[in-house]
Amino acid sequence: MTAEARPVVPEPRWGGRSLTAARAAAVLIALIAAVTVAYATQGQPVVVTQAVITGILTGGVYGLVAMGLTLIFGVLDIVNFAHGAFLALAMFVTFGLVAALGVHPYAALAVSVPLLFALGWVLQYGLLNRAMGGPLQNQLLITLGISLLIENALLLFLGANPRSAPLPGDRALPVLGAVADTSRVLAFAAALALAGALWLILTRTRVGTAIRAVAADPRGAEHVGVDVRRIYALTFALGTACAGAAGTLVAPFATIEPTTGQLFTIVAFVVVVLGGMGNVPGALAGGLVIGLTEQLGGVFLPGQSPMLPVFVVFVLALFLRPQGLFGGNG
Amino acid sequence: MTKTWIIALAASVTLALAGCGGSAPGGTSGGAGAQTGPIKIGSLHPLSGSSAADGQQLENGAKLAVEAINAAGGVKSLGGAKLELTSGDTQGKPNIGQSEAQRLIQDGAVAIVGTYMSAVSANVASVAERNQVPFVMDITGDDAILSHGYKYSFRLQPPTMRIGAESARHLAELSEQQGKPVKKVAYLHEQSAYGTSAMTGFREEAERLGITVDPVISYDPVGVSDLTTQITQVKASGADVLAVTGYYRDGVLAAKAVGSVKPGLDAVYGVADGAFDLPQFPKDAGAAGEGFFDVNYRLDLNNPETKRLADTYKQRFGDEIRTGAVLAYDAVRTIATGLEKSGSRDPKKLRDVISSGSLPSMLVGKGPVKFDATGQNVNAIPVMMQVHDGAVQVVHPKEHAEPEARPDYPAAPGS
């Protein structure tokens, strides 16, 4: 396998951190400028406030969904087309538990996260590991197959009717004249917590060090005694467990259908590339940038697809920094 | 290296699909020559993908119609020949719909029903025209398809523009009656031909009646995951009523956003909306959806035959019937009646009989199913519905309303 070395987090080489900080500052300044212009040119400040709040909250959700994807992409070099299907699976698990047992939707995390972790482990260990080192499109086709299998199994056994798993006591919290739903605020908070937890695992634990070693150079890692196949399975499982958490957290404000996951993954792929492949905090930052771009784009260009400003920003970012806004310097 | 492969793969998949779609009749007008055995009717709906819930309802409706006709002795003028439904899954994609239509026709289908989605129907209509096989549309929002002068395309649902205009009239009338005449309407619609033509029909008529329509906000139904900002914009505009045209998922998002923002409206008013009149909408939207209106075509529950169909549907599929299933049911009946009258399996003769015939409809209408020169069913009419205590009821006009059902206006949402 001729994987280019893709650092999971920016390497702490001299100047690396301050450069990342400088880029983050530049992005922040650009966003603040856009918001200021919006306030100055739009007649109704409350609309802009709402756009910013909605942008931050949906951005957090995009980041949440993209985290697992970026981890898998960064370490295993697998473009995981099944991510949306994993998300949908977690949503249906959540719906099932809420409908059958009447539990609180968030209690479903106790089932969806371990379940998706186990599923990820089994798929990587039993299926994808055999394709590692082969041509990259093999892995891509396997994940595409898995996604078709999961989505159509959901369709076949559970039907296409939309379902919902509302959060008890979900209400609109007033924020500076605008509103934010409790369920979305909690999902945002969970996105921050999850990003923090993943970052700690990757940088502060032995297992995280092993994951980063495998990402940088699988053969080298093997030579120093890392069980590469186990690390592959573990990383894929961590990624799918993230999808499990995201699915349950998103379920209260999404319409649950076998295809719901796809809705988020289109954006998630953009977020992964924008944030730097394999960079977990970068995914969160990328998510926020995309969420805000989408909402502010709607304010500036009413009636256009939200994807238009998103892809303008995306193409611009790729042109200026092909390795992603927060990717490594290599 | 990696990227080259991915791009190559994506390109080859696209090419393969396009290859399937490039279908010319090539002189083979299908296997319609089969003079014995069951008569095949093609059914094309999105059975997978994001519109699968509606697609399966339509498919089930068509299935029930075929079963009912066969149980009643098949097509008598053709020696009691049985009907057979041959189905294709469009996946909601125009190119797949096109190749599936070609496949069904080559397989010997004498007519096609479908397809729920405008972009798919547009392609299927041209395939049907080239192959001279009647295409009876159950649901298809785009009015432009029938403006091409096609001879083989028919549509059961009323034109979306007409629903828009009718909605504006109903709203003006109702609000006047209740002593709170509407002055300003904000319009939120999905951005394709369906949402735009509903909005255009509504705006033209509303402006004629002295109602301002502003702001008009459109969104992309595929990618949207939150409509709070749009509803905030509606609130800031000071409109009396919010009119909405969209699909199911975005309709629920709009209802939830209305519940959160509390825009202080007299009513939320669907115009041919794909969410507000569905049986599961009140449950998915919760309290936020109470009192929502929708003006749309509707199954006629005052017709005992339709009532019986609704009961059969529930028994058979364990689900509430939607209006779409009744439209598909009527589309198959239209074809069966045509076969009965023409006494022939020839699609061309079938087309002539369908275009001149009429059939008692199971939809709310002002008369039987009957097509004008463009192929539009002239007698389907939209009615006004409202969510009352967690259920959708027809509330206006009185002669079609469900017993005891009255419109509540103003119906301040999100309160």
- Nearest-by-CA chain B residue for A79: B6
What are the percentages of helix, strand and coil residues in chain A, rounded to 5? 75, 5, 25
Whether the ω angle into residue B279 lies within 30 degrees of 0, i.e. cis, is: no
Question: Quick check: A44 contacting B, CB < 8 Å?
Answer: yes
Helices (H), B28-107: 52-71, 94-106
Whether the ω angle into residue B263 lies within 30 degrees of 0, i.e. cis, is: no
Residue A328: per-residue pLDDT:
57
DSSP class per residue in A216-270: H-HHHHHHTT--HHHHHHHHHHHHHHHHHHHHHHHGGGS-B-TTHHHHHHHHHHH
Question: DSSP assignment, residue B158?
Answer: P
- B319 C-beta neighbours (distance < 10 Å), count: 17
Q: A307 to chain B: which residues are within 8 Å by CB?
A: 220, 223
Predicted confidence (pLDDT) per residue in A16-44, tens digit:
667 778 888 888 888 888 888 888 888 78
Helices (H), A42-181: 45-76, 83-101, 109-123, 129-131, 136-158
Confidence bin at A171 (pLDDT 50/70/90) = confident
Question: Quick check: A18 contacting B, CB < 8 Å?
Answer: no
Instruction: Using DSSP, state whether B28 is helix, strand or coil.
Output: coil
CB–CB of B265/B239 below 8 Å?
yes
Question: Quick check: B374 contacting A, CB < 8 Å?
Answer: no
Confidence bin at A319 (pLDDT 50/70/90) = confident
- Nearest-by-CA chain A residue for B215: A302
* Least-confidence region, from A130-134, B343-347, B379-383: A130-134
Helices (H), B262-400: 281-285, 304-317, 323-342, 347-356
CATH topology of domain A41-320: ABC transporter involved in vitamin B12 uptake, BtuC (1.10.3470)
Highest mean pLDDT range out of A262-276, A293-307, B294-308?
Answer: B294-308
> Mean pLDDT, to the nearest integer, of A242-255?
94
- A320 C-beta neighbours (distance < 10 Å), count: 10
CB–CB of B391/B277 below 8 Å?
no
For the cut 90, the answer to whether the pLDDT of residue B73 exceeds it is yes
Predicted confidence (pLDDT) per residue in A77-96, tens digit:
888 999 999 999 999 999 99
> Mean pLDDT, to the nearest integer, of A273-292?
90
Residue A101: per-residue pLDDT:
94
- Count the helices and strands in chain A (H runs, E runs): 13, 2
Q: What is the mean pLDDT of chain B?
A: 88
Predicted confidence (pLDDT) per residue in B267-295, tens digit:
999 999 999 999 989 988 888 899 999 99
Question: DSSP assignment, residue B139?
Answer: S
| Residue B312 to chain A, least CA–CA distance (Å) | 19
Strand partners, B107: none
Question: What is the CB-side half-sphere exposure of residue B122 using CA atoms within 13 A?
Answer: 15
| All structural domains of chain A with their residue ranges | 41-320
| Residue A94 to chain B, least CA–CA distance (Å) | 15
Residue B30: per-residue pLDDT:
42
Q: Which of B6, B259, B261 is closest, CB to CB, to A140?
A: B6
Q: A259 to chain B: which residues are within 8 Å by CB?
A: 49-50, 52
Regarding predicted confidence, which is higher, B325 or A177? B325
The two beta strands, B135-137 and B111-114, are parallel
Question: Quick check: B286 contacting A, CB < 8 Å?
Answer: yes
* Cβ contact B261–A257 (<8 Å): no
| Residue A91 to chain B, least CA–CA distance (Å) | 15
Q: B55 to chain A: which residues are within 8 Å by CB?
A: 160
- Nearest-by-CA chain B residue for A162: B53
Domains and CATH numbers, chain B: 34-158+302-370 (3.40.50.2300), 161-296+383-400 (3.40.50.2300)
Residue A317: per-residue pLDDT:
85
Predicted confidence (pLDDT) per residue in A218-229, tens digit:
999 999 999 999
- Nearest-by-CA chain B residue for A181: B260
Rg (Cα) of chain A, in Å, rounded?
20
* Cβ contact B236–A295 (<8 Å): no
Q: What is the mean pLDDT of chain A?
A: 88
- Nearest-by-CA chain B residue for A155: B48
For the cut 50, the answer to whether the pLDDT of residue A147 exceeds it is yes
Confidence bin at A5 (pLDDT 50/70/90) = very low
> Mean pLDDT, to the nearest integer, of A187-213?
94
Q: Is B184 exposed, middle or buried (0-12, 13-18, 19+ CB in 10 A)?
A: middle
Question: Quick check: A306 contacting B, CB < 8 Å?
Answer: yes
Matching residue, tokens 């995914």 = A283
| Residue A172 to chain B, least CA–CA distance (Å) | 5
CB–CB of B201/B160 below 8 Å?
yes
The two beta strands, A172-175 and A178-181, are antiparallel
Predicted confidence (pLDDT) per residue in B383-397, tens digit:
999 999 989 999 988
Q: B224 to chain A: which residues are within 8 Å by CB?
A: 306
Helices (H), B77-192: 94-106, 118-131, 160-177
Confidence bin at B415 (pLDDT 50/70/90) = low
For the cut 70, the answer to whether the pLDDT of residue B123 exceeds it is yes
Residue A157: per-residue pLDDT:
92
Question: What is the CB-side half-sphere exposure of residue B196 using CA atoms within 13 A?
Answer: 10
Residue A6: per-residue pLDDT:
52
* Least-confidence region, from A23-32, B255-264, B329-338: A23-32
Q: Which amino acid is at B234?
A: V
Regarding predicted confidence, which is higher, A116 or B193? A116
Question: Quick check: A257 contacting B, CB < 8 Å?
Answer: yes
The two beta strands, B83-89 and B39-45, are parallel
Confidence bin at B12 (pLDDT 50/70/90) = very low
| Rounded Cα distance, B368 and B279, in Å | 26
For the cut 70, the answer to whether the pLDDT of residue B23 exceeds it is no
Percent of chain A exceeding pLDDT 90 equals 55
Instruction: Tell me the pTM.
Output: 0.86
Question: Quick check: B48 contacting A, CB < 8 Å?
Answer: yes
